[in-house]
Structure 1
């Protein structure tokens, strides 16, 4: 996830400080959870996949092609978003053969009994020096999928909020000069293939960076009325404002028909004092799930379906210290940090 959140300078109503822990939720196929592996105390992948199934979680984002995780996913009916490692992109962008070899090694062995929904070309590499490699790798991988008659696997990439040079108000959303060329190529590809763009959306980082102007109820989906008025559109929560800033940026780049998948969102339960408690994390994640399940889209794009992934399944002790280690729904011993999903019946 990106820690370099653009500060949203917003005015709004006073924060609601008293949080209510909500009832547990049964997810559907629009909700997934990221399976991070940066921990030396995590349970075996077979137990992790069982935990997904136990709580009815039907989608999983895997950041790289971990063989143990992919093996455990066989026959699970969990839809997988599989990531290419950032450090592999320069080599893969060099030739069609390199991407074909990657596919044969990392996807082909599992193709008959693992459900792949997306393959993501890098994680948060735009803007940055690796961003230029995303588009050629997308093209090469799409060629592989066409040759193997796998139309149900969609090729995309994952971008952070730092691609936005302008983010407020949402209608003014625009890509930064550094990101714009890469994003235009990527979006044209996604439009042609009818694939969505994956975006990481973290109201927590915007709130934590500017608690004076961004209010807690707006960041946590608990505001009871419009907080930000942007022309004819009213925003009750910061999540929708961020997503619509991405939509505006895409339109400004000349591509208006690409949908988004929220590849990460979450709230840490510790690491930053009173801003990060289990109660706040539970409130945000439950409201995020409910918002996705409502399938009402955003003020700018009403009634579209947006899939969403919570970051993350576990607290991971090999991530940087502080909030980074505390985004998990579960402790490594598989007990909940706080309740979100009901156990499947």
Structure 2
């Protein structure tokens, strides 16, 4: 009995660790404010074809819920602002909605989040006060069905919910929303739900191009913006805006609430004055965004913290009012052809006209090596990731192999960093490693240890320690100590069982 208990304990601990080490994911928003869109069944097939595992919709449309049944794709569904009044007034309205619109399709349709209201501080009419009562009623309905732990309840917000976002450490909520935000944040903290934010660096650049560089908005900046209060370095606006929200949460003593980005992206077409709205810029932003997210580097203020992100949007939506860009955020046209190529695994190389290339300013190749300013703990963590979930073949830095000597952490990390860098387009973001990598224009190769270059024909061998699947849904990043701990514990249990 004791042996069974101990073996069960080890397996249970493994499951806990796997859950706690979940990698960040990238999903897509599926809006339907357009003519001639494919039927939901076709849209679901398109999503599966491109290995997208997470989808956000803005209502609980029955046809959409049916289309995603038995696909394994996780859905975030919404309660529109127009329903907030009825949901907040009577518990029976939330109960009936769940009974008629959700339960008949669950769990075949894998619903994991319900958003109650969307950007209410930006919507006409005073509906903010209705959000938390409606959220509480939806949660109560879920409790009655026993689903309160499987489906999280939250609400989405625009960055306008902040009164200050720069520098990030000065991030603060708009005081005019205090009456609504305090009970909202208490609800999120109590129920372990994320704060959902829609972040659009495009708008910040478009409206203030004289103060913000395009490269900074596109994850392509070679310079750094320094937060004068913390000394933290920011190479992209996306991270700065997320950290501004984290600091705003911390200022109100809500330190446990995680942030989820429920909309972000870049338009591929705009009005004559929207010169940055191009297919190349849209491809650059979303490609770099995906790589940044799945690298699990987090943000400067929240290093290693997972940030789940939904790209807006699946299709161009021609019914949307406003400037031309409003109708051109889609990854696909209504006929399901791509607006531009995008690799959702973040592993492939995508040709981007305006993006970084694999050569330095003098026309030579560039390499990625370990920064001498990085601590050994961070360097070891980055090396473990590169040789594990990063799918780098690290055979060359094993004992008796050509790059094992010198046997030190910096040398081994440099080889692994460069291999990942070259495999992933030699872009700036592919050499980030949470700040542990730097790009150089001098070949680090020595003796028989040859560093890969962008033009190399070297075959990338499968690393036996790497996770084989590259899909966003199955990537799991383990702490550096995990494999040693688990193997040692599991072996000790097996030895004890065999001994008896």
TM-score using structure 1 length:
0.89
Q: For each residue in 1:5-30, what CA deviation from the matched residue of structure 2 results, as whole angstroms up to 9, or x when unmatched? A: xxxxxxxxxxxxxxxxxxxxxxx871
Tell me if 1:88 matches 2:88.
no
Report matched runs for 1:24-173 at 5 Å: 30-126=25-121, 129-150=126-147, 151-173=149-171
Q: For each residue in 1:129-177, what CA deviation from the matched residue of structure 2 results, as whole angstroms up to 9, or x when unmatched? A: 1111111111111112222111111001100011011111111111112
Q: For each residue in 1:26-75, what CA deviation from the matched residue of structure 2 results, as whole angstroms up to 9, or x when unmatched? A: xx871100000001110111000000000000000000111111110111
Q: For each residue in 1:287-320, what CA deviation from the matched residue of structure 2 results, as whole angstroms up to 9, or x when unmatched? A: 1111111111111111111110000000011111
Tell me if 1:207 matches 2:201.
no
Q: 1:149 to 1:240 in 2, by over 3 A?
A: same
Quote the Cα distance in structure 2 between the aligned partners of 1:104 and 1:319.
32
Offset at residue 342 of structure 1 (A)? 5.9
TM-score using structure 2 length:
0.62
Name the count of aligned residue pairs. 318
Tell me if 1:247 matches 2:246.
yes
Quote the Cα distance in structure 2 between the aligned partners of 1:147 and 1:182.
26
Offset at residue 225 of structure 1 (A)? 3.3
Quote the Cα distance in structure 1 between the aligned partners of 2:78 and 2:336.
24
Query: In the alignment, which residue of structure 2 is the partner of 1:15?
Result: none
Aligned-partner SS, 1:271: coil
Q: For each residue in 1:195-250, what CA deviation from the matched residue of structure 2 results, as whole angstroms up to 9, or x when unmatched? A: 11110010000000000000011100001231233422111110001001111111
Quote the Cα distance in structure 2 between the aligned partners of 1:214 and 1:92.
42
Quote the Cα distance in structure 2 between the aligned partners of 1:179 and 1:286.
34
Bigger shift: 201-210 or 104-113?
Answer: 104-113
Bigger shift: 136-145 or 327-336?
Answer: 136-145
CA-based RMSD: 1.6
Query: In the alignment, which residue of structure 1 is the partner of 2:382?
Result: none
Tell me if 1:299 matches 2:300.
yes
Query: In the alignment, which residue of structure 2 is the partner of 1:326?
Result: 328
Report matched runs for 1:260-271 at 5 Å: 260-271=259-270
2:52/2:344 contact within 8 Å kept: no
Query: In the alignment, which residue of structure 1 is the partner of 2:337?
Result: 335
Offset at residue 259 of structure 1 (A)? 0.3
Larger Rg: 2
Quote the Cα distance in structure 1 between the aligned partners of 2:270 and 2:50.
26
Aligned-partner SS, 2:298: coil
Quote the Cα distance in structure 2 between the aligned partners of 1:297 and 1:130.
33
Quote the Cα distance in structure 1 between the aligned partners of 2:266 and 2:140.
38
Query: In the alignment, which residue of structure 1 is the partner of 2:474?
Result: none
Quote the Cα distance in structure 2 between the aligned partners of 1:181 and 1:290.
38
Report matched runs for 1:259-298 at 5 Å: 259-273=258-272, 274-298=275-299
Quote the Cα distance in structure 2 between the aligned partners of 1:324 and 1:318.
9
Query: In the alignment, which residue of structure 2 is the partner of 1:21?
Result: none
Query: In the alignment, which residue of structure 2 is the partner of 1:13?
Result: none
Aligned-partner SS, 1:93: helix
1:117/1:152 contact within 8 Å kept: yes
1:126/1:182 contact within 8 Å kept: no
Aligned-partner SS, 2:341: coil
Query: In the alignment, which residue of structure 1 is the partner of 2:348?
Result: none
Quote the Cα distance in structure 2 between the aligned partners of 1:215 and 1:157.
31
Aligned-partner SS, 2:92: helix
1:36/1:312 contact within 8 Å kept: yes
Structure 2 residue ranges without an equivalent (≥5): 1-22, 346-469, 472-500
Query: In the alignment, which residue of structure 2 is the partner of 1:198?
Result: 196
Aligned-partner SS, 2:263: strand
Q: 1:224 aligns with which of 222, 225, 230?
A: 222
1:180/1:253 contact within 8 Å kept: no
2:30/2:314 contact within 8 Å kept: yes
